[in-house]
Amino acid sequence: MGSNTEILIKNIVDLPTLPQIITTLLDMLDDPDSSVRDITNVMGKDQTLVAKILKLVNSAFYAIPKRVSSVSQAIAILGFKTIKSLVLSASIIGMFDASDSDFNYQEFWVNSMGVGTISRFLILKLSGDPYSGCAVLHPDTGFVTGLLAGIGKVVLEQYCHDDFGQIIARARDEKTTFHEAEREVGAAGYASLGYWLAKRWNLPDEVQIPIKFQDDIGQCPAEHRSMAAVIAIAKYLCRLKQYGHNGDFDSPPAPPKQAAVSLALSKDTLPLLTSGLAEEFEKTESFLSMIRSM
């Protein structure tokens, strides 16, 4: 983590924290000894959260044929990991207030949800390929990691406003990525800030570390490299399809090479993987619209 990032982190004293009930639920959903009854009892203390989760579970995103009417039923059908991704999604989006900058928060969250959805989609598609490294990844961990991949940009925008403006202006003028522009400006790194925030929220290493190395796959520890590569490919596909906007202004001609190599992707396999993207983006729009209406 660079010195500028460390200085910024030390100066941040009022960063939003996850509500206590959310933190408790996330810990329980990570604990193999937790029971469905334990989780439903805790979640039942916040009926607003229960209503949100059930609304999302019954959305087109999951396409469950029969209506789910209880949290215990939702857990039985979808499992702990998926419920965890829903709890996080419902809590994080809208946590940061938009300010008077050029940064379009609405487009940012569209892009973030897109990266999360496509990460989940790629893992499901690649899980049968032993060479891709995705067989050991959970789709809903991919969703959460993709959703939070750009969260460090929000930290920069809120707490280092001038640097953020310079980064956006340089990225726009030079038609480059946010990552390249922030290096030229010498600002704190968004990926390291995202890693720090995920750590502060006590999210698992399988989420934290891929966020940190999403732009530098080769330096990512081997056990987390496949997830970092999935996130990088999902970001590329969202830029390619112009789905939302996260501060990148480049037009990438090909997927990031390190990510493609890590996932054993060839020029022939990528089109096969992306054949269902339009449907996934439609699901994302529906899912995000529901969260915003809650």
Distance CA(201)–CA(218), nearest Å, equals 26
Q: What is the pLDDT of residue 122?
A: 93
User: Terminal CA-to-CA distance of the chain, rounded, Å?
Assistant: 36
Domain boundary among 49, 70, 95: 95
Residue 99: the pLDDT is: 56
* Token pair belonging to 106: 């609405």
Using the 3D structure, point to which of 41, 65, 95 is the last residue of a domain: 95
Which structural domain range is residue 59 located in?
17-95
**Cα Rg for the chain, rounded, in angstroms?**
18
Establish if 8 belongs to a structural domain: no
End residue of a domain, out of 41, 61, 95: 95
The secondary structure of the chain, three-state, reads: CCHHHHHHHHHCCCCCCCCHHHHHHHHHHHCCCCCHHHHHHHHCCCHHHHHHHHHHHCCCCCCCCCCCCCHHHHHHHHCHHHHHHHHHHHHHCCCCCCCCCCCCHHHHHHHHHHHHHHHHHHHHHHCCCCCCCCCCCCHHHHHHHHHHCCHHHHHHHHHCHHHHHHHHHHHHHHCCCHHHHHHHHCCCCHHHHHHHHHHHCCCCHHHHHHHHCCCCHHHCCHHHHHHHHHHHHHHHHHHHCCCCCCCCCCCCCCCCHHHHHHCCCCCCHHHHHHHHHHHHHHHHHHHHHHHHCC
* Residue 6, domain member (yes or no): no
Phi, psi (degrees; rounded to nearest 5) at 225: -70, -35
Q: Residue 103's domain is classified under what CATH number?
A: 1.10.3210.10
Query: Are both 283 and 139 inside the same structural domain?
Result: yes
Q: How far is Cα 110 from Cα 119, in angstroms, rounded to an integer? A: 14
Q: What is the pLDDT along the chain (294 residues), one digit of tens a residue?
A: 556 777 777 777 667 788 889 999 999 998 889 999 999 999 999 998 899 899 889 988 888 889 999 999 999 999 998 999 988 888 887 676 565 566 788 899 999 999 999 999 999 988 887 778 888 899 999 999 999 999 999 988 888 888 899 999 999 999 999 999 999 988 778 999 999 999 989 899 999 999 999 999 999 999 999 999 999 999 999 998 899 999 999 988 888 899 999 998 887 777 777 788 888 888 888 888 777 776
**Are residues 220 and 288 located together in one domain of the fold?**
yes
Same domain, 133 and 229: yes
Asked, for residue 264, whether it belongs to a domain, the answer is: yes
Report the pLDDT value the prediction gives residue 68, as an integer from 0 to 100. Answer: 94
Tally of domains within the chain: 2
Same domain, 140 and 267: yes
pLDDT at 2: 54
Let me know whether 190 and 152 are in one domain. Answer: yes
pLDDT at 130: 76
pLDDT at position 115 = 96
Is 278 part of any domain?
Answer: yes
24 within a domain of the structure (yes/no): yes
Residues 124 and 154 in one domain: yes
- Tell me, yes or no, whether 77 and 102 share the same domain: no
Q: Are residues 77 and 179 in the same domain?
A: no
Co-location of 32 and 67 in the same domain = yes
- 76 located within any domain: yes
pLDDT at 3: 61
pLDDT in tens, 109-137: 999 999 999 999 999 988 887 778 888 89
Residue 76 and residue 216 share a domain: no
181 and 219 in one domain? yes
pLDDT for 213 equals 97
Q: Does 238 lie in the same domain as 112? A: yes
Cα–Cα distance, 209 to 224 (Å, whole number): 7
Residue 4 lies in a domain: no
User: Could you tell me if residue 214 is inside a domain?
Assistant: yes
Residues 254/174, Cβ–Cβ less than 8 Å:
no
